[in-house]
Structures are given as C-alpha cells and as structure tokens.
Homo-oligomer: A and B are copies of this chain.
Amino acid sequence: MNKFAFAIVSVAAMALAGCQSSTSDQKGDALASTSDALILAAREQFKALPNGPGVVPGIKSTPELVALGNMLYSDPRLSASHTIACAACHSMGLGGADARSTSLGHRWQHGGRNAPTVLNAVYNSAQFWDGRAKDLTEQAGGPISNPIEMAMPADQVIPTLKSIPGYADVFAKAFPGDKDPIRMANVQAAIAAYEATLVTPNAPFDRFIKGDALALGQAERRGLTSFMNNGCAACHNGVNMGGGMYAKFGVASAPPTELLPPGDVGRFAVTKDEADRYSYKVPTLRNIALTAPYFHTGKVWNLDEAVTVMAKTQLGKTLPQQEVSDIVAFLRSLTGDQPKTSVPALPPVTGTSARPAD
C-alpha cells in the first residue's frame, strides 16, 4: 500500500472507530472496519512484547552474566569439532534460527526437527518442539552434548572451557563469590541469561495493540480479524502468539506424511501419554516471516502454504486465498526489532588447550 492509499484507509478506519458492535454476531464485521474494537478484541487474546529482557526462573541477570552468555553462545569450541556454536543454528542474522529444514550437526548429521527460533524463547512455557526442557537453562544443556548436534562429550565441556585461560576471569566476574565458577550449571545459566535478552519488541502488531491504530494497514487488520475469528488464536495467543501449550498436529484432519512422518511421535516421547502422540509445542508466531521453513519438519517454505495447512489440519477449514493472504499480511506484522548483538571477542586457545575432534 502506498502512503496516500494508507492515509485514506486510516482516516476511514478512524471515522468508523466509534461504531463498536455490541452483539457477538456483528463482531466480525465491526472488527474489520474499526480499529478501536479490533484493538480491544486483540488485547483479550494477545499481549504486547515488553521492552527489555525476559526473566528466566532462578536467574538474576547482570551485564557480566549476559556478556559471558553471549560469548558461550557464540563459541564454536563448545562443540566437539570446535566449529558449531549455538549461534550456528540460532543465528541473529536469520531470525534466531537457521536457513534449513533441519540443521547440520557434527560430521554433517541432519537434525531431527527444524531449529526453533531463540528469539523471545524466554516467553515459551517450555523449550524444544516437544517441551522436554522446562526452561532456557535446562534447554542450554541439550544441544552441546547431543551427538548429532554439537556432540561435545558431556564430561569434556568444562575441561575444555578451563583449558582456555581467558575464560577464568569472565566466569569469575559473572559469578562473583563462586569459588569454582566454571561448571555446567553456570554455563547453562549464562547462556539462558543471554538468550533472555534476545527479544524483539516494537513489531507493528505490538504498536497496534498498544493503541497505535495506524501501525497496521487494512490487510493486516483483516488478517488479524480472520486469525481470531477462525480460531488460530485458540493456540497462538498470549505474549508470544504461541509457545504456551501443546497441540496435536492434525486435530481436524491428518497432515500429509511429509509434514508428519509417523516415526516422530512428538511429545509422546517425553510423557509416554497416548494423548500426546503427535503433539508438539505450539510455536511462537513472532518473527515468523523471518524463519522459513516451517513446522517441526521444516518442509514448508511458504507462509501462505503454512497458513493453508494449519487451517485444514487444525481447524478443518479451507480458507479462500484472499483470507490466507490477509492472515499472512498480519503474520508479517509480528516481525519486531531484531536484537543488536555484537560478535564477542573470545578468549584464545593456548598450546595446552583442548583440541578439536576431526
């Protein structure tokens, strides 16, 4: 939409803003044309992302802790090959994720599921697609020693860090008073504290629900209305537009096998509860336009297709193309300010430091 057209639409929307519907059957129409009503309706289901870092349970964040976390997050020497950092698959350049269906790990092994974004992950109720880690701290211990990811033997993480002399001082500053600060719990806490800073406030949608009616154009507003009316927001809601619950992939109709390969049983593997078979954590939709490909398989590269698949498998609906496009326009309004992270200078190895594996 060019500026001129946008101004006309916005004026029209403001002119209509007084006509709020009072009965529920009029609600859909009214939402589409009045921004005040739409803002109020959206506030019932979503929350604007706060400015500033999120909070990880049990962690008191300090600048020193975050700085250490940024170093560890960026340090490929936490992997067996000294080549794969956390940041390799969760890159600030690529919306906190990577650019593949599944990531490449140690010795070019292919990961099992699409790398989820680290951005705003602090606002998820659990971590990983199957929620097997309760928070960022617990999550941070997983990929480092996962044999198909970073593949660092669990008993080598700390000796490796201790063999790089420059880390001693950085850990000491991040954990003042701790007599043996280079230990796994602290590594995980520092990474989690850093990740909690990786939030993306100020998306157009956030500005909209904070009251800036002009932050969304007409297509985005229609898409938001459609998103709520069709029931997408039943799962994708709250501050993270998702990340707060689990849902079976295929509530209304079975997804194609490519999108739901039978061998990956989802949360069932964690709970052994038959009800959780093929259930996955509902992913955040924040920054979704930056993080193709989609779904736990990463087999869908197109937001339009992702919306169409979701409508069919989760809601049993076949949406008209115009409505799909509107929802996609709305989803694009969930892209916030990307974190400004610098590449931290890492302490160098010495002749006695641990060496990478082949």
How does the 8 Å CB contact mask read for A322-345 relative to B, with 1 for contact and 0 for none?
000000000000000010111111
- Contact status B341-A93, CB under 8 Å: no
Check if A126 is an interface residue, CB within 8 A of chain B: no
Check if A108 is an interface residue, CB within 8 A of chain B: yes
- Contact status A108-B110, CB under 8 Å: no
- Contact status A348-B82, CB under 8 Å: no
- Contact status B93-A348, CB under 8 Å: no
A174–B353 Cα distance when bound, in Å, is 42
A191: min CB distance to chain B, Å = 15
- Contact status A93-B345, CB under 8 Å: yes
A10–B356 Cα distance when bound, in Å, is 41
- Contact status B301-A95, CB under 8 Å: no
A344 partner residues in chain B, CB cutoff 8 A: 93
Best-surrounded residue of A74, A76, A88, A93 (most CB of chain B within 10 A): A93
User: Which of the four size classes fits the interface of chain A?
Assistant: 35 or more
A151: min CB distance to chain B, Å = 12
Check if A228 is an interface residue, CB within 8 A of chain B: no
- Contact status A341-B338, CB under 8 Å: no
Which residue of the partner chain B has the closest CB to A305? B351
- Contact status B343-A92, CB under 8 Å: yes
Task: Scan residues 104-125 of chain A and give those whose CB is less than 8 A from a CB of chain B.
Answer: 104, 107-108, 110
A249–B284 Cα distance when bound, in Å, is 56
Check if A98 is an interface residue, CB within 8 A of chain B: yes
Check if A304 is an interface residue, CB within 8 A of chain B: yes
Check if A245 is an interface residue, CB within 8 A of chain B: no
- Contact status B83-A100, CB under 8 Å: yes
A289–B302 Cα distance when bound, in Å, is 46
A252–B77 Cα distance when bound, in Å, is 36
Check if A358 is an interface residue, CB within 8 A of chain B: yes
A301-B353, A340-B342, A351-B304 known; A104+B81 contact, CB < 8 A: yes
- Contact status B83-A88, CB under 8 Å: yes
Check if A75 is an interface residue, CB within 8 A of chain B: yes
A93-B344, A301-B351, A343-B341 known; A99+B82 contact, CB < 8 A: yes
A301–B81 Cα distance when bound, in Å, is 16
A348–B93 Cα distance when bound, in Å, is 9
Check if A190 is an interface residue, CB within 8 A of chain B: no
A100 partner residues in chain B, CB cutoff 8 A: 81-83, 356
Check if A38 is an interface residue, CB within 8 A of chain B: no
A326: min CB distance to chain B, Å = 17
Residues of A within 8 A of B (CB): 71, 74-77, 81-83, 87-88, 91-95, 98-101, 103-104, 107-108, 110, 289-292, 301-305, 338, 340-346, 348-353, 355-356, 358
In the complex, given contacts A302-B351, A340-B342, what are 15 additional A-B residue pairs having Cβ atoms less than 8 angstroms apart?
A75-B93, A76-B91, A77-B99, A81-B104, A82-B98, A82-B99, A82-B100, A83-B99, A83-B103, A88-B88, A292-B348, A292-B349, A301-B349, A301-B355, A302-B350
Contacts A/B (CB < 8 Å), 22 sampled: A75-B93, A76-B91, A76-B98, A83-B88, A83-B98, A83-B104, A87-B343, A91-B343, A93-B346, A100-B356, A101-B356, A290-B348, A291-B348, A292-B349, A292-B353, A301-B349, A301-B355, A303-B351, A338-B345, A340-B342, A341-B342, A342-B343
